[in-house]
Structure 1
Amino acid sequence: MTTATSRHSGRGISPVFLGIVAVMAVTGWAVWTDFSASIGLAVFLFVTSAWIVSLCLHEYAHARTALHSGDISIGTKGYLTLNPLAYTHALLSIVLPVLFVIMGGIGLPGGAVFIERNRIQGRWKHSLISAAGPLTNVLFAAVCTAPFWLDALDGVPVAFRFALAFLALLQITAAILNFLPVPGLDGYGVIEPWLSYNIRRKVEPYAPFGLLAVFGCLFIPEVNGAFFDAVDTILRGLGVSELETACGLEYYRFWQGTPELCESLVSQ
């Protein structure tokens, strides 16, 4: 009876998450129809809410995979409700990633759900739990770029296209950063079960600083340039141009004004 309750409790979708989805839907409609008096504000709200939705799905993927791998305590922690306030580090999981999007236009990987790894047997299961989150970002990026690589942009408003391009950039940057084999990130979580006990014990103290180290490296011009060159290469392969992501960022930062080039594209 206890096991069944643990498995099935806490699975209803949170009203908080539904509210965020509602904001995403309404502002997406506003961007699509150019209903808003300020198209930039509509893009900002649409991309930000969609980004938060993707963060919730990222953490949900970790939690759901852990549940099916043996950690039946997941349901009682509220992780399956998609409520961003239920995360062990809401500041790291939601607030900081949103701030970094606003300040730097980069999809920063967030904090985590707490998984009781001792309940899970098998290295493949541990690796899959870690991979599930960034794979969600990959899927989200595929959905955002589908109109581009399917050559189905006819009828898609230009401003909405810019928003999708920028949102895709955020998803790809988040996926790449999360998959880095750096302690504290999901990429390290994928390979950690396959490392020797001695290596894992030596690396463990550095896990809390892994994300900070990655962020610090992105301040190095050469690293930053190589990183975004890789992101642009992936986006171009998906049919998204650098101009479209740049215009998406400029519309997102509506308080800075919109460049004339992007305005002229919107008016076409």
Structure 2
Amino acid sequence: IYTIMKNYSNRHYNTIIRLQSYLHGGTSSLLSTLPTVFVFPVYKTIFRQQIHNAPVHQAVGQLYKEGPLKLYRGVAPPLLMRTLNGTLLFGLQDTLLRHLSLSTTTSAAALPALAGFGAGVVEAVVFTPFERVQNVLQNGHNDKHLPSLRSVLMKLKVERISQGYYRAFLPIAARNAFGSSLYFGLKGPVCAVVAGQGLSPVVSSFVSGTVTSMVISLTLYPLSVLVANMQAQVGGEVKGVTACWRQLWKSRNHSLVLLYRGGSLVILRSCITWGITTAIYDRQQKGSS
């Protein structure tokens, strides 16, 4: 009886730990995303640069011309997506990590990255429709024929799934999988190095999240530009990933500098957001252990 009760207690405890990972991931992501309400115009500026290859002043001019009522068009999807994203990403990675540690002979150092890769793939499956809706709403060219969230949802619903809600799924899956793998694979070692310099755990986690995010953003930013361009339009000629990439590369005059236009704002935003998220999440995890 004692053995049975002990096994039940251990299973119950492990379940609580796994649920805490989901809760802590959602909480940390929500808290780090609240400033999005205030800096959402920056999001839209970046998006306009990505799809129109426009300099900052021209992108800002577009938003100014459209007026304040349309400035926050499309703010709801990223707020909801970011909170749910953190819940799923951190929770699922922790769950996969626990299962992998019990069922594989792979080096323990590689397991966080491997679990992160799997979590990133699932993340793409769940959140590609959110990103699709967000990108359609943020494209000013859609304002007239798709004036509301409801109209966007109805339009995407009648499209084939690969052309509607799951447009650009492959580049999103690649970006999220490799991004999550890099994040979970690097944040622990980077945090340990920073903590070795005598900094507090919270500061170490923040620096770890910031540095890791910078590496990921620099590496994978071209995929984000590709996704934005593939998802911004609804209907019309539908091209595959390769054709869209060739068209994008040609529109940027085969220049990496132009391809990374808007990247500085993305990297800055990402570093701050993921620095805060990592610090809050690690603090919650340590507090519950």
Q: What TM-score do the two structures reach when normalised by structure 2? A: 0.34
Query: Which one has the largest radius of gyration?
Result: 2
Higher helix residue share: 2
Report which structure shows greater RCO (CA 8 Å, sep ≥6): 2
Q: What TM-score do the two structures reach when normalised by structure 1? A: 0.36
